A and B are shown apart, each in its own frame.
Chain A
Amino acid sequence: MTIPDPVFEWLELSPVLVVFVAACLGVIIEAVVPRKARFYCQLVLAEISLLSSVGFLVFNGVRGAWGPLAMKAVMLDGPAFVAWLALLVFGFLALLVFAERKINAGATAFAALASAVPGSATESEAIAQRREHTEIFPLALFSIAGMMVFVAANDLLTMFIALEVMSLPLYLMSGMARSRRILSQEAALKYFLLGAFASAFFLFGIALLYGYSGSFNLARIADSLGFSTMNRGLLLCGIGLMAVGLLFKAGVVPFQFWVPDVYTGAPTPVTGFMAICTKLAAVVGLARVFYVALGAERWSWQTLFAVLAIATMLVGVILALTQTDLKRLLAYSAISHAGFILTAVVGAYQNVAAGRVNAFGSIIFYLIAYGFGIIAAFAIITTVRDEGGEATRLQSWNGLGRKNPLLAGVFAFLLLSFAGIPLTGGFIGKWEVFASAWAGGFWWLAITAVGFSLVAAYVYIKVIMAMFFEEPDETVVVGKASLFTWIPVAIGALATLYLGIFPEHLMELVSNLQIFLR
């Protein structure tokens, strides 16, 4: 038996390779560059690699280099292109927030020495020496590279590897907070155990699906549906178990337990990063598997997903009402957003006129609008502080509008976008997603979702009222942050406004890039 030489399209794959190589270089920098210079070396390397990756991506897009790559392991199609672009832009903004040091008296938000026991002499010594973990940048780059492969993976094995490459760095990053370290370590432990559990389900599902169809390739799985001589039970169990793995990453009920704990425990810049990048990768991966490989089997998963979408919105919205911590509130809000997005996944609406968005187009628009908002929101959370560090209790935010009207105004605007109020990107996203679910024949799901988003609006308006109409808490101040925080906040807020007023520009781009190739 001969094995043919692998064909590898270097130029077409360059956006991923650049990020991956930069991550490897980052590891080398840790070893050879003196400690003082390391931070800016890592930061500049990471940001330049993300920007040049965007450059390569746009170049490939203009050239029209679409099609299967790397022996059909990766598919560069419209959805992969938009998802890569979104991941790179959000990764760029999130890494800027990682680099913020001014607000924390010259130290990053990450532990001085993550291996030191909290409160020990080793830790105080490390803090006194002003040590810091610049590994956070290569870790984030590895994670972004994994996400990029994940959203474009054309076979299930590549998808599994990419899932692990994107998750393993995230487990470590969520355990590296500088303050409240025990909490952060606990978040890392929970995220790791539950994440490994979910990826084991995902893998077992892949194995069963391979057993049914005899191939890992998405298109060949689609061809085998209904024609395989194997037991249909293999297919159904495989679909179910794979769905568990993917829905876990997206934070859908009943696999949402990790979301509030990890979002609260992780360092806030990391929370902002994973709130959008992990969710975007998971949802796009979910859509690719279920539309490309299992589209013909949609009668067996649509109804189940519809029920899960309703449960997700219910849990996310109702529990958000009872939260007293802002990070936790945004975590439950993230769960409810996963539910809103899932309505369009369920709709699976494909037959659209030219220039209109289908199910995937509406999902990615929603994710992009949500992403700009959530990165800016978590960046703002890092700036509101008391003597113990970030003040995330809701009461601490009382009267923020009197202390710093501009900051509170921007935060209120972002919350209105999450609530889906007109003139914000969030409104257009919700509109498109629900319209897509409706057009896909799930009108009852769309109506339920509108109902839930009205209830969800109450949660956000409650926070806004507290910020502007409650007596201020004098111990809480808005810290002096550097441009590393304010640039992402400004870009996030302006993009949210822009997407709310001129949605047609992004909509046009997305509507040209929304068809999965197979």
Chain B
Amino acid sequence: MNPDFVLWLAAILFGIGAFGLITRRNALVAFMCVELMLNAANLVLVTMSEVHGGLDGQVAALFVMVVAAAEVVVGLSIIVMVYRSRRSVSVDTASLLKR
């Protein structure tokens, strides 16, 4: 199996995620972009597991999903906390630490 097509697809997804995180101002959207990047990595893991034979990559993808879920728990709690204290989740208003 030739993995090139899937690798390019994963790279494009990863790029969209990275670009989105840098440009979007909403913390929730930025966070969704991170999830997109993690899933792009999952795509590579599963594809390469097929190429090499063996289950390592597929098992790794499961682990990554669990980690992503844990990250959502922590991330959303932080975002909700910030939203409650300033009624906005824009990362631009979070600039008190800049001088």
Question: Using a CB–CB distance below 8 Å, which chain A residues touch chain B?
Answer: 114-115, 117-118, 157, 160-161, 164, 168, 171-172, 175, 181-183, 185-190, 192-193, 196-197, 200-201, 203-204, 206-208, 210-211, 214-216, 234, 260-261, 264-265
Do A164 and B70 touch (CB < 8 A)?
yes
Q: Smallest Cβ distance from A288 to chain B, in angstroms?
A: 19
Known: A164-B70, A193-B21, A211-B3. A204 touches B40 (CB 8 A): yes
Are B97's CB and A186's CB within 8 A? Answer: yes
Q: A185-B85, A193-B91, A207-B44 are in contact. Are A200 and B34 (CB under 8 A)?
A: yes
Q: List 28 A-B contacts (CB under 8 A).
A: A157-B60, A161-B63, A161-B67, A171-B78, A182-B86, A186-B97, A189-B94, A190-B91, A193-B75, A196-B31, A196-B71, A200-B17, A200-B18, A200-B38, A200-B41, A201-B37, A203-B64, A204-B14, A204-B37, A207-B10, A207-B41, A207-B60, A210-B48, A211-B7, A211-B44, A215-B56, A234-B7, A261-B97
A203 to B91, CA, bound (A): 24
> From residue A95, how far is it (CB to closest CB) to chain B in Å?
21
Q: How far is the CA of A264 from the CA of B98 in the complex (A)?
A: 11
Top 8 nearest A-B pairs (CB, nearest first) are: A200-B37, A207-B44, A211-B48, A214-B52, A261-B97, A203-B41, A207-B41, A204-B41
Does the CB pair A183–B96 fall under 8 Å? yes
Are B63 and A189 in contact (CB-based, < 8 A)? no
Contact of A216 among B30, B60, B85 (CB under 8 A): B60
Q: Given A157-B60, A168-B74, A172-B78, A189 and B27 touching (CB < 8 A)?
A: yes
Q: Which residues 17-33 of B sit at the A interface, judged by CB distance below 8 A?
A: 17-18, 21, 27, 30-31
Q: Mask for B39-75, Cβ within 8 A of A = 1, else 0?
A: 0111011011001101011001001100100110011
Bound-state Cα–Cα, A182 to B84, Å: 11
Q: Which of B51, B56, B91 is A189 in contact with, Cβ under 8 Å? A: B91
Chain A residues with Cβ under 8 A from B51's Cβ? 211
Q: Taking the nearest CB of chain A, how far is it from the CB of B12, in angstroms?
A: 12
Cβ–Cβ contact A168 & B70, under 8 A: yes
Tell me if B9 counts as interface (CB < 8 A to partner A). Answer: no
Which residues of chain A are within 8 angstroms of B96 by Cβ–Cβ distance?
182-183, 186
Task: Give the residue among A200, A260, A261 with the most B Cβ atoms within 10 A.
Answer: A200
Whether A171 and B74, one on each chain, are in contact in the complex, defined by CB atoms closer than 8 angstroms, is yes
Known: A203-B64, A210-B48, A265-B97. A193 touches B37 (CB 8 A): no
- Please, which residues of chain A bring their CB within 8 A of the CB of B44? 204, 207-208, 210-211
In the bound complex, do residue B85 and residue A117 qualify as a contact, i.e. CB atoms below 8 Å apart? yes
Residues of A near B37 (CB, < 8 A) are 197, 200-201, 203-204
Contact A210 B57 (CB under 8 A): yes
* Residue B16 CB within 8 A of the other chain: no
Known: A206-B41, A211-B44. A193 touches B67 (CB 8 A): no
Contacts A185-B81, A189-B91, A204-B41 given; does A210 touch B97 at CB 8 Å: no
Least Cβ–Cβ distance between A213 and chain B, in angstroms: 9
State the Cβ distance, B20 to closest chain A Cβ, in Å: 11
Contact B74 A192 (CB under 8 A): yes
Extra contacts, 4 of them, besides A114-B81, A216-B56 (Cβ < 8 A), are A164-B67, A171-B75, A211-B51, A214-B52
Which one, A164, A168, A186, A234, contacts B94 given CB within 8 A? A186
Nearest residue (CB) in A for B79 is A189
User: Are A193 and B52 interface neighbours, CB within 8 A?
Assistant: no
A234 partner residues in chain B, CB cutoff 8 A: 7
Which residues of chain B are within 8 angstroms of A193 by Cβ–Cβ distance?
A: 21, 27, 30-31, 34, 75, 91
B39 → A minimal CB distance (Å):
10
Q: In the complex, what residues of A have CB within 8 A of residue B30's CB? A: 193
- Give bound CA distance, A183 to B85, whole Å: 11
Considering only CB atoms, which chain B residue lies closest to A119 in the complex? B85
What's the Cα separation between A171 and B76 when bound, in Å? 12
* Cα A190 to Cα B44 with chains together (Å): 28
Are A175 and B34 closer than 8 Å at their CB atoms?
no
Q: Which residue of A lies closest to B59 (CB)?
A: A157
Decide if A188 touches B78 in the complex (CB within 8 Å): yes
Cβ–Cβ contact B78 & A197, under 8 A: no
B85 in contact with A118 (CB, 8 Å): yes
Kindly state the separation between the CA atoms of A187 and B81 in the bound complex, as whole angstroms.
12
The residue on B at minimum CB distance from A207 is: B44
Cα-based distance from A197 to B52 in the complex (angstroms): 28
How far does the alpha carbon of A68 sit from the alpha carbon of B76 in the complex, in Å?
Answer: 37
Interchain CA distance A282-B67 in the complex, whole Å: 19
CA distance A204 to B11 in the complex (A): 9
**A30 vs chain B, min Cβ distance (A):** 16
Q: Shortest distance in angstroms between A326's beta carbon and chain B's nearest beta carbon? A: 14
CA distance in complex: A181, B63 (Å): 34
Can you name the residue of chain A whose Cβ is closest to the Cβ of B80?
A: A115
Tell me which residues across on chain A come within 8 A of B71, comparing CB atoms.
164, 168, 196
Interface centre among A171, A208, A211, A261 (most CB of B within 10 A): A211
For the complex formed, measure the closest distance between the CB of B7 and the CB atoms of chain A, giving whole angstroms: 7
- Nearest Cβ in chain A — how far from B59, in angstroms? 8
Contact present for A182 and B27 (CB under 8 Å): no
In the complex the two chains form, what is the Cα distance from A208 to B8 in whole Å? 12
Partner of B78, one of A161, A182, A185: A185
Of the candidates A115, A204, A207, the one whose C-beta lies within 8 Å of that of B48 is A207
A190 to B89, CA, bound (A): 12
Complex CA gap A208/B71 in Å reads 22
Chain A positions within 8 Å of B7 at CB level: 211, 234
Hey, which chain B residues are within 8 Å of A118, CB to CB?
A: 85
Cross-chain contact of A172 among B63, B64, B74 (Cβ < 8 A): B74
* B26 CB to nearest A CB, Å: 11
